């Protein structure tokens, strides 16, 4: 089984549009949406949920007002500004409060409270879905609003998807990645065979692409670049080609800006199935190139 | 006042709105914070002169092997699995450490001290009268929030933050998780930028949930408004969410964006649009 991760650094360059189309082209694939913060792949693949799993992760500190003696020890030790002192009108300490959003779940307050007034409570921080689409099984998730541990949920999504791919003997695992270069992206990267960086010829797109390429290089993963909306600024498209050439990275495909993409989004379908023309052809070519990478590898 | 610019979905135009708003209200004494530290892009448009660079670190444990008796307490209490204790050795995984200080505080032998590990940098400068602060997470680092905390701390120490007449514009990261919260926290108002597509709507609904949870007032900017469908409009109407501004799809704007040129620099008519948006926001705020 080969794992392909689609990332971009910058948001909105076309990761999900491309992932959905590759999903439609790859026969025998399992699909995973690792953008657990703002998942969108389901809007194009319309998964039917077969199983839901609760994602319990981390524990937030909770204070028992009845036991708290207002000593302020937790207040001075918390490094995440999660513990706040509410004052009376005369300035004296009224009550200690823990902000669950700021709590980093480190447990320092829990271990150091002299009267044991702080407990750690389990939290349901998201849901994981195992679904079926017309293109194959799909694993996706929804992180609770303002929750932490997106990296852990991403790791769980990938693990489930890998298990399904192995159990069902699927050849591909196609993963829609999150934007950025932080914790969920790092979690998405582990164990993948190919990173497809989707960029656009804007200065922001180029800057963000370079950072995400650096990240993939940091983890030693084979990386290819795909330039979306390549006709928005041809000079920048050339710059991307030069950067990639210097780094020894292949530019594996291009798409021009197209209203067809917007229309396919609105209809909720992969653009490769909506487009009758060049857009579909370019994506089919891309998929053939990806297949060829691993065929070559298989022979050697 | 503090105005943050956010969106569930990436690439909807957060930086565009933040930069052009900042440039349209020069008389307000603007402070601009780029809190999208994983991929900071505002400097491409504002081209600030950086005057000061601050290294941001988190304290990670250092074990004194002489004092350590390998009791295993540190590994037991570490919530992030950043320590492992073997029979004759303690392993530290600095990339997993959140810098809470628990291990050094609780080590029974006092064998743990802390040393700083850089996770990124904060840069401070000026651009056209705008006070500019941005954070850059080092590649390979997982945690953006400590950097965002430092950006806001630096901003707070500077005069404009406390001047009620001035405006602090915050360019937030995409998504709905901890780094977004850290960026938006404390804002008087949040502008949610979206696009009129099913993706834009889906992620707008998520972002609205974040703001309700944080109890920050908000409104919506619809970018590329001429391209898509009406579902974002209907959603805003049904939920009584003010639409602050519509920016139509325009190939000229897309080209300017690709070159790192702010819209208001070339298309002056937009200055008035952003100023009106600012007035509208003032009206929406409780006095």
Over residues A64-94, the pLDDT tens digits come to 999 999 999 999 999 998 999 999 999 888 8
SS in 3 state form for chain A? CEEEEEECCCCCCCHHHHHHHHHHHCCCEEEEECCCCCCCCHHHHCCEEEEEEEEEEEEEEEECCCCCCCCCHHHHHCCCCCEEEEECCCCCEEEEEECCCCCCCCCHHHHHCCCCCEEEEEEEEEEEEEEEECCEEEEEEEECCCCCCHHHHHHHHHHHHHHHHHHCCCCEEEEECCCCCCHHHHHHHCCCCEEEEEECCCHHHHHHHHHHHHHHHHCCCCEEEEECCCCCCHHHHHHHHHHHHHHCCEEEEECCCCHHHHHHHHHCCCHHHHCCCHHHHHHHHHHHHHHHHHHHHHHC
| Interchain proximity B140–A183, CB inside 8 Å | no
Contact status, residue B227 vs residue B249, Cβ threshold 8 Å: yes
Token pair listed for A134: 């017309």
Cβ neighbors of B189 (< 8 A, separation 6 or more) are: B1, B2, B3, B4, B216, B217, B218, B219, B281, B284, B285
| Interchain proximity A13–B140, CB inside 8 Å | no
| Interchain proximity A101–B181, CB inside 8 Å | yes
User: Is the pLDDT assigned to residue B287 strictly greater than 80?
Assistant: no
| Interchain proximity B39–A207, CB inside 8 Å | yes
**Crossing angle between the packed helical segments A259-267 and B198-214, to the nearest 10 degrees:** 70
* Chain B residues within an 8 Å CB radius of A143: 176-177
Question: Which run of H or E residues covers position B277?
Answer: helix B269-284
From 3.40.190.10, 3.30.70.20, 3.40.50.2000, 3.40.50.620, which CATH number describes the A59-123 domain?
3.30.70.20
Give the residue from A273, A18, A25 showing the smallest Cα distance to A171.
A25
Beta bridge partners of B33: B133, B170
For A89, phi then psi, to 5°, come to: -65, -30
The closest CB to that of B38, out of A80, A81, A181, belongs to A181
Chain centre to alpha carbon of residue A129: 15
User: Is the pLDDT assigned to residue A146 strictly greater than 90?
Assistant: no
Token pair listed for A251: 């530019």
Every domain of chain A with CATH number 3.30.70.20 lies at 59-123
Give the residue from B11, B44, B250, B270 showing the smallest Cα distance to A236.
B44
ipTM over 0.90: yes
pLDDT digits (tens, 9 = 90+) for A87-133: 999 988 889 999 988 899 999 999 999 999 999 999 898 999 999 99
Token pair listed for A230: 């390549």
pLDDT digits (tens, 9 = 90+) for B158-192: 877 777 789 999 999 999 988 999 999 999 999 99
B108 burial (CB, 10 Å; 0-12 / 13-18 / 19+) is exposed
| Nearest Cα residue in chain B from A13 | B11
Band (pLDDT 50/70/90 cuts) for residue A58 is: confident
d(CA A150, CA A106): 16
Percent of chain B with pLDDT over 70: 100
> Would you put residue A123 in left (φ > 0), alpha (ψ -120 to 50) or beta?
beta
* Chain A residues within an 8 Å CB radius of B255: 232-233
* Range B2-56+120-284 classified under CATH 3.40.50.300: yes
| Interchain proximity A11–B254, CB inside 8 Å | no
User: Is the pLDDT assigned to residue B58 strictly greater than 90?
Assistant: yes
User: Is the pLDDT assigned to residue A158 strictly greater than 50?
Assistant: yes
Contact status, residue A176 vs residue A32, Cβ threshold 8 Å: yes
Band (pLDDT 50/70/90 cuts) for residue A300 is: very low
For position B84, what pLDDT does the model report? 96
User: Is the pLDDT assigned to residue A207 strictly greater than 60?
Assistant: yes
d(CA A88, CA B218): 31
d(CA B132, CA B127): 7
| Nearest Cα residue in chain A from B7 | A38
Q: Per CATH, which fold does B65-110 belong to?
A: Alpha-Beta Plaits (3.30.70)
pLDDT digits (tens, 9 = 90+) for B116-130: 999 999 999 999 899
Percent of chain B with pLDDT over 90: 93
The shortest C-alpha distance from A51 to chain B (Å) reads: 22
Give the residue from A216, A256, A209, A200 showing the smallest Cα distance to B39.
A209
For position A298, what pLDDT does the model report? 59
Contact status, residue A249 vs residue A217, Cβ threshold 8 Å: no
User: Is the pLDDT assigned to residue A174 strictly greater than 60?
Assistant: yes
Give the residue from B122, B161, B128, B155 showing the smallest Cα distance to B40.
B122
For position B108, what pLDDT does the model report? 97
Structural class in CATH, domain A2-46+134-299: alpha beta
Q: What is the pTM of this model?
A: 0.94
Every domain of chain B with CATH number 3.40.50.300 lies at 2-56+120-284
For position A299, what pLDDT does the model report? 52
For position A150, what pLDDT does the model report? 85
| Interchain proximity B202–A208, CB inside 8 Å | no
The shortest C-alpha distance from A146 to chain B (Å) reads: 5
> Residue for token digits 């950097």?
B147
Every domain of chain A with CATH number 3.40.50.300 lies at 2-46+134-299
d(CA A252, CA A245): 12
For position B224, what pLDDT does the model report? 96
The closest CB to that of A150, out of B177, B197, B254, belongs to B177
Token pair listed for A174: 């196609």
CA atoms within 13 A on the CB side of B230: 3
User: Is the pLDDT assigned to residue A140 strictly greater than 60?
Assistant: yes
pLDDT digits (tens, 9 = 90+) for A223-257: 999 999 999 999 999 999 999 999 999 999 999 99
Average pLDDT, chain A: 94
pLDDT digits (tens, 9 = 90+) for B137-152: 999 999 999 999 999 9
The shortest C-alpha distance from A101 to chain B (Å) reads: 8
């Amino acid at each position: 089984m080969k794992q392909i991760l689609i990332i971009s650094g910058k948001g909105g360059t076309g990761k999900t549009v491309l992932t959905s189309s590759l999903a439609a082209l790859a026969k025998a694939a399992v699909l995973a949406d690792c953008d657990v913060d703002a998942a969108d792949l389901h809007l194009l693949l319309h998964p039917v949920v077969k199983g839901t799993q609760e994602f319990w992760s981390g524990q937030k500190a909770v204070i028992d007002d009845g036991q708290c003696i207002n000593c302020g020890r937790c207040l001075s030790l918390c490094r995440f500004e999660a513990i706040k002192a509410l004052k009376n009108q005369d300035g004296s300490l009224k009550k200690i409060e823990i902000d669950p959003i700021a709590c980093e779940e480190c447990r320092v307050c829990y271990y150091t409270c002299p009267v044991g007034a702080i407990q750690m409570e389990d939290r349901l921080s998201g849901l994981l879905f195992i679904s079926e689409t017309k293109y194959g099984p799909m694993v996706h998730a929804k992180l609770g609003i303002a929750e932490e541990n997106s990296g852990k949920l991403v790791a769980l999504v990938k693990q489930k998807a890998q298990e399904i791919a192995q159990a069902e003997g699927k050849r591909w695992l196609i993963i829609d990645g999150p934007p950025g270069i932080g914790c969920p992206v790092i979690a998405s990267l582990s164990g993948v065979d190919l990173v497809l960086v989707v960029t656009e010829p804007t200065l922001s797109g180029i800057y963000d692409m370079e950072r995400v390429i650096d990240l993939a290089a940091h983890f030693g993963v084979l990386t290819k670049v795909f330039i979306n909306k390549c006709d928005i600024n041809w000079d920048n498209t050339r710059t991307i080609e030069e950067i990639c050439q210097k780094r020894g990275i292949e530019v594996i495909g291009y798409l021009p800006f197209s209203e067809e993409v917007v229309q396919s989004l609105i209809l909720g379908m992969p653009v490769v199935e909506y487009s009758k023309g060049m857009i579909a052809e370019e994506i089919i070519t891309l998929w053939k190139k990806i297949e060829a990478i691993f065929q070559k590898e298989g022979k050697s | 006042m503090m105005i943050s610019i956010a969106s569930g979905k990436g690439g909807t135009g957060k930086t565009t709105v933040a930069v052009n708003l900042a440039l349209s209200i020069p008389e307000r004494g603007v402070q601009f914070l780029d809190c999208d530290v994983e991929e900071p892009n505002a400097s491409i448009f504002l081209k600030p002169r950086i005057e000061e660079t601050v290294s941001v670190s988190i304290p990670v444990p250092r074990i004194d092997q002489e004092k350590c008796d390998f009791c295993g307490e540190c590994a037991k209490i570490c919530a992030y699995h950043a320590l492992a204790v073997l029979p004759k050795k303690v392993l530290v995984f600095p990339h997993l450490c959140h810098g809470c200080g628990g291990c050094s505080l609780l080590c029974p032998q006092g064998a743990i001290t802390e040393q700083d590990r850089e996770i990124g940098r904060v840069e401070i400068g000026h651009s056209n009268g705008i006070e500019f602060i941005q954070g850059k997470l080092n590649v390979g680092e997982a945690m953006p929030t400590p950097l965002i905390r430092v950006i806001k701390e630096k901003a707070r120490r500077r005069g404009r933050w406390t001047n009620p007449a001035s405006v602090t514009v915050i360019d937030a990261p995409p998504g709905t998780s901890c780094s977004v919260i850290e960026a938006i926290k404390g804002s008087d108002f949040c502008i949610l930028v979206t696009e009129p597509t099913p993706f834009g709507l889906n992620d707008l609904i998520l972002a609205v949930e974040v703001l309700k949870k944080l109890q920050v007032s908000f409104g919506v900017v619809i970018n590329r408004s001429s391209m898509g469908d009406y579902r974002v409009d209907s959603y805003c109407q049904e939920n009584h969410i003010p639409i602050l501004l519509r920016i139509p799809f325009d190939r000229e704007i897309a080209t300017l964006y690709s070159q790192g040129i702010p819209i208001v620099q070339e298309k002056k008519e937009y200055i008035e649009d952003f100023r009106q948006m600012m007035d509208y926001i003032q009206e929406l705020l409780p006095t």
